[in-house]
Amino acid sequence: MKILHVGDVHMSTYPPDARVDNYVDELLDLLSQVVAVAKAVRAQAVLWPGDLFHSKTRTSMEAAFHMLMVGIELKEAGILNLAIPGNHDLYRNRYESLDTQPLGHLFKTGVFTNVSSTRGCLPVTLYENNFRVTVEGIPWPDAQKAESWISRVGTRDPNHQRVVMAHCFANQTADDYFGDPVWPYDGLSGTQHDLYVFGHDHRDLGMTALDSGQAFVNFGAICRVAQNEYDMTRELAFALVEMQPGQPPYVQRVRLNYRAATELFDPVKKAQRQQERAMVESFVEALHTADVDVADVPTLIGTLGLAADVKDRVLTYIVEAE
C-alpha cells in the first residue's frame, strides 16, 4: 500500500516578501508533480499535515480554488486527500475558526477529509486485501499538548498499521525551536503508530527509523516563503511511503523539480521590508509611550521614510484600533 506525505504548502495569492517570481505558479507546478507521482504509483492517499494555506483570512477563496482543483484531480483518480489544520489555516490559531477559513471550505466540499481525531473527526482506514492502514491526525494547537499524544498509547498490530500526522515541532533531539514545544521522537514511540508524519517545521528533517520499526518523516515544506537559510539551500521533496504487513514503513524521498532560490528572492527588497517593519514597530512603540493626539497621527506617519502603500496600511490599522 502506498501513500504520499506532502509538507506545508502555504498556498496564497499574495506573494511573500522578497519573492520576485509568480508564487502561485511555482506552487501549482510543484503540486502537479505530486499529483503525477500519486497517480503513477497508484497511491491510496495523500496526507496533508496542515498549513495548506498561508493567509489566515476568510478572503482567500482564490487560494482555496487552486487547492480544490489539485484535490479534485487526485480524488477523480481514486486517491484520498486526508488533512488536518495547521496554525496558518486557523484565524488567530483558533480551531473554532476553521469553518470560516479556506481549508474549512475544502472540507465542506468532501474533496478533502479532516482526520483531526482530537476534535472528533473519524480516522480513515485504507484497505489492501487483508491489510489495513488507519490514518488519524492531531491538528494545531492540539499537537502541542502532551495529553493529545498520551491518549494514543497502545499496542501495534502488524496487520493493522497506524499512521498519525501532526502539526507541531518534533525531531530526534527535541532541540528548542522558536520557544515552542518540541517533541522528541523517542518520547512519542510509546504510542500505537507505525508511521509519524509532520507539518509545521519547514526544515528538511528527513526520515528517522527507531529500533522499534517506527518511522518519523518530515522532508520539509514544499513552499519557500522566506529568504532564510533553509529556504535558500534545502532540497524540495515529499515522501512516498510503502506499507506492508509485518514490515516497517519503507520511505522514499521524491525530489521535486524546482528553480534555484536565488532566482526567486530579491535581497534588496527584503532588506527594505525589514527596515520598514523596524520603523513601523518603533513608531507604534512611540505611540504607546508618548502623549500623542490622534489627530496628529497622519502627520507623524508622513514623516516616516516608508512607501505610500505602507503608510496607508499603518494608518488603517491605527484607525481600526481606536
Q: Are 38 and 145 within one domain?
A: yes
The neighbour count for residue 319, using CB atoms within 10 Å, is: 11
Q: Are 114 and 151 within one domain?
A: yes
Q: Is the pLDDT of residue 33 over 90?
A: yes
**Structural domains of the chain, count:** 2
Last residue of a domain, one of 224, 248, 263: 263
In the prediction, which pLDDT does 232 show? 82
Nearest to 32 by CA among 56, 62, 1, 66: 66
Helix axes 102-109, 61-76, angle to 10 degrees: 30
262, 232 contact by CB (below 8 A): yes
Strand 112-114, strand 124-128: pairing:
unpaired
Calculate ∠ Cα 307-55-219, nearest 5°.
115
Q: Is the pLDDT of residue 87 over 80?
A: yes
Stretch 175-195: mean pLDDT, rounded? 82
DSSP state of 14: S
What cell was used for 287? 505611540
Q: Are 241 and 286 within one domain?
A: no
Q: Are 164 and 48 within one domain?
A: yes
Range of the domain at 198: 2-263
Rounded Cα distance, 216 and 222, in Å: 18
The CATH number covering residue 154 comes to: 3.60.21.10
Q: Are 317 and 212 within one domain?
A: no
Nearest to 5 by CA among 258, 189, 256, 251: 251
Tell me phi and psi for residue 164, to 5 degrees. Answer: -125, 135
> What SS3 state is found at 81?
strand
What cell was used for 229? 537559510
In the prediction, which pLDDT does 246 show? 92
Q: Is the pLDDT of residue 69 over 60?
A: yes
Q: Is the pLDDT of residue 234 over 80?
A: yes
In the prediction, which pLDDT does 14 show? 81
Rounded Cα distance, 246 and 213, in Å: 10
In the prediction, which pLDDT does 170 show? 92
Q: Are 277 and 166 within one domain?
A: no
Q: Are 208 and 272 within one domain?
A: no
Q: Are 57 and 184 within one domain?
A: yes
Q: Is the pLDDT of residue 231 over 60?
A: yes
Average pLDDT for the chain: 86
Cis peptide before 15 (omega within 30 of 0): no
